[in-house]
Amino acid sequence: MRLPIKLNRAGWPEFFCSSRFAFDDPRPLATGEASRLAPASFSSAVSSLQFGVTFKTTRPGRQSHSNRLISELYRDAKPVILDVGASDAITSLDLIRALGADLGQYFITDLNLVTRCGFGPRGTVYFLDRHQTCVLRASRHFLVYADVDGALRPLACLARLLLSGWRKAVNWRDVLLVQPALVSLAGRDSRISIMSYDLFEPWSGPRPDLIKIANLLNSRYFTDAQMKEALRIQCANLGPNGRLLLVSEDHDVEKFSLFRKTAAGMQLEYDHAGGAKAAPHVPAPAPVCAVRIGQVELEVGT
C-alpha cells in the first residue's frame, strides 16, 4: 500500500471525507457498539480492515444481478452453496434472502472471521490478525496499516513505529467480524453455517452445487498463478454439474461470470457486464476431438 496511513472519517470534516484517502471508523467494532450498528454501518466499519493484502471491503446490495440469476436458476432446487471470502456476510444475507424458501445449505466462509482488539490511550484501538500480528491502529483521526508495500521509507517507518504501540494495549477481546443479524439467524437456522476457510485448501464439507467467490480474486491481491491455483482447487471442490460464480466490481458496476462443471470441464454459462476479472483463469475445458469407429463418429475429451 503506497499510503499506509489514511484519514479516519470519524475525525475530519465532511470535505476531507470524500477523498479516497479517508476510510470509515472501525473502532465501534471493538467497543461493544457493533451489535447496535445498522447493517450498512457494520459493513463500512469492517470494510476498513485489511488482513495481509486483502481488504474486507463489502456493502449490502452490491450483487443484485447475480442474486437474481441464482435465485431463478435454483428455484425449487435447494442448492448447497459455498460462499468463499464473504467478509462480514452482508452479501450472503442478500443472497439468502433472494433464495427464500429455496435455500438448501449455505456455508458462509472467510479466512479472516475474527480479529483481536486492544485499547491504547485516547480511544486508540489496535486490531490483530489470526497470527496475532497487529494489522491496524485506529485513532480518531488516522488509520495506520501494517501493509507498507510500495510506501515511501519515512512513511513505512512511521507506520511501523505507530503500530508497535500495540504491545502496551490493554483490555484485549476477540471480535467476530460477521453481521450480528446473520450470527443470530445461523443460530436459529441449521441450514446456515459460518466458518473459517482458505480458498487455497480443498473443501471438506458437503459437495457444493454452487461456489461463489466475489471481489476476492483480482490482480490487486493475487498473482495470475495464485488465481489459477485457487480456481483449480475450487473447480475440484464442485460436484458434477456444479456451478462456479465469480463476481467482481468496477466503479460500482457488478460484473460476473457463471461457469458449469461438465464432463469436458468448466464451461461458461453466463456473462454479465463483461464478466468477472478472474474468469480467464478458470481451467479451460478439455479440447474435444472426433473419433470415427466404422460409421459412427464420437466426440471424446482429450
Ligand X SMILES: C[S@@+](CC[C@H](N)C(=O)[O-])C[C@H]1O[C@@H](n2cnc3c(N)ncnc32)[C@H](O)[C@@H]1O
Contact residues for ligand X (CB under 6 A)? Answer: 51, 54-58, 62, 84-87, 91, 110-112, 198-200, 214-216
Nearer to ligand X, 108 or 120 (CB): 108
Least distance in angstroms from the C-beta of 112 to ligand X: 4
CB of 300 to ligand X, least distance (A): 36
Instruction: Give whichever of 9 and 255 is closer to ligand X, judged by the CB atom.
Output: 255
Query: Considering the complex, what minimum distance in angstroms separates the CB of residue 158 from ligand X?
Result: 26
Q: Where are the beta strands (DSSP E) in 112-240?
A: 114-119, 125-128, 134-138, 142-145, 170-176, 192-196, 210-214
DSSP at 167: G
Q: Shortest Cβ distance from residue 108 to ligand X (Å)?
A: 10
Least separation in angstroms between CB 200 and ligand X: 6
Closer residue to ligand X, CB minimum distance, 74 or 222: 222
**Cβ pair 111, 196 in contact under 8 A:** yes
C-alpha 256/C-alpha 13 separation (Å) is 37
Nearer to ligand X, 66 or 124 (CB): 66
Using alpha carbons only, what angle is made at residue 163 by residues 132 and 216, rounded to the nearest 5 degrees? 60
- The sheet that has 192-196: what strands, in order across it? 192-196, 105-110, 80-84, 210-214, 243-250, 253-262, 265-272
Q: Between vectors from CA 111 to CA 163 and to CA 199, what angle results, nearest 5°?
A: 135
Contact by Cβ (8 Å): 92, 145: no
Secondary structure E strands in 85-209: 105-110, 114-119, 125-128, 134-138, 142-145, 170-176, 192-196
For ligand X, the closer of residues 110 and 147 by Cβ is 110
Smaller CB separation from ligand X, 8 or 47: 47
* Closest CB 143 distance from ligand X, rounded Å: 17
The residue nearest ligand X at its CB is: 85
